[in-house]
Amino acid sequence: SSLNPVFPVGWQIAEMFRVHRGMNRSDAETEAVKLMERVRIPAAEERAGNYPHQFSGGMRQRIMIAMAIALNPRVLIADEPTTALDVTVQAQIMTLLKELQEESGMGLILITHDLGVVADVADDIAVMYCGRFVEHCDVRRLYANPAHPYTVGLIDSIPRLDQKGEQLYAIGGLPPSLTDLPTGCSFNPRCRFATDQCRTPGAPPFIEVEEGRFAACYHTEEVLNRERV
Ligand code: SF4
């Protein structure tokens, strides 16, 4: 939906080269076809003349990725790159992003609500709540034993195959309005570890709680040593 519906996709990719690299139209279009091949669009040369509505959602996402990597960025920020795609296409898009990242060595910052997608692709995760970092750690440790109650809630909310017939877990309550945050830790009305300290004015500091692991919580130790469900 970010593509312009009235121009062929090849023209839209080529625009990057015309505007930023000063290429002539024919050279820019040759580069656009190469990029379409790089993001695995079959019959790229013929399809460069097609309009966005002639592609599936997954293919359109590949075109967007082609535009994003056209100028060899050092960092690619992919904000919800798999939203509105079905699971199979999601997996293909994530595989493609991973391959492109490995080929080019660029950094990849993935912004997503999908913890499954993150587990597969990321080296490090920063979890945010109400616009702030609440935990930052390498993927392996974060999934094995989260240190912040919000991360615990997110991970416990993932349906598990061995939990048939049980009610699915959800974090109680709703995220607060950013213009009317609770006093103290923003997560305190929804947190099962909350104490009076959590309701005192000021957010808990975001500090290193273990080597290479940062969290913004007064009770990290209890969270790390909690009884598991
Ligand atoms: S500071 Fe308190 S309310 Fe906030 S996440 Fe930690 S335990 Fe929960």
Q: Is 194 close to ligand 1, i.e. is its CB under 6 Å away? A: yes
207 vs 209: CA distance, rounded Å: 6
215 C-alpha to ligand 1 centroid (Å): 10
217 C-alpha to ligand 1 centroid (Å): 5
Confirm if 193 and 222 have CB atoms less than 8 A apart: yes
Give the model's pLDDT for residue 166.
85
Tokens of 209: 């709680």
pLDDT tens digits for 20-51?
Answer: 999 999 999 999 999 999 999 999 999 999 99
Q: Is 209 close to ligand 1, i.e. is its CB under 6 Å away? A: no
Confidence band, pLDDT 50/70/90 cuts, at residue 229: low
Instruction: Give the strands of the sheet with 207-210, arranged side by side.
Output: 124-129, 132-138, 213-215, 207-210
229 vs 226: CA distance, rounded Å: 9
pLDDT tens digits for 128-143?
Answer: 999 999 999 999 999 9
The length of the chain in residues reads: 229
For residue 197, give the ligand 1 atom closest to its CA.
Answer: 2
In this predicted structure, the answer to whether residue 114 has a pLDDT above a threshold of 90 is: no
Count CB neighbours of 204 within 10 A.
22
For residue 185, give the ligand 1 atom closest to its CA.
Answer: 4
| Best probe residue, ligand 1, of 133, 188, 224 (max atoms within 8 Å of C-beta) | 188
Q: Is 47 close to ligand 1, i.e. is its CB under 6 Å away? A: no
The Cα-based distances of 53 to 4, 7, 9, 57, 169 in angstroms read 10, 10, 10, 9, 39
Q: Is 190 close to ligand 1, i.e. is its CB under 6 Å away? A: no
In this predicted structure, the answer to whether residue 228 has a pLDDT above a threshold of 80 is: no
209 vs 172: CA distance, rounded Å: 26
Q: Is 185 close to ligand 1, i.e. is its CB under 6 Å away? A: yes
Q: Is 217 close to ligand 1, i.e. is its CB under 6 Å away? A: yes
In this predicted structure, the answer to whether residue 127 has a pLDDT above a threshold of 80 is: yes
pLDDT tens digits for 167-204?
Answer: 889 999 999 999 999 999 999 999 999 999 999 999 99
Q: Is 184 close to ligand 1, i.e. is its CB under 6 Å away? A: no
Give the model's pLDDT for residue 163.
82
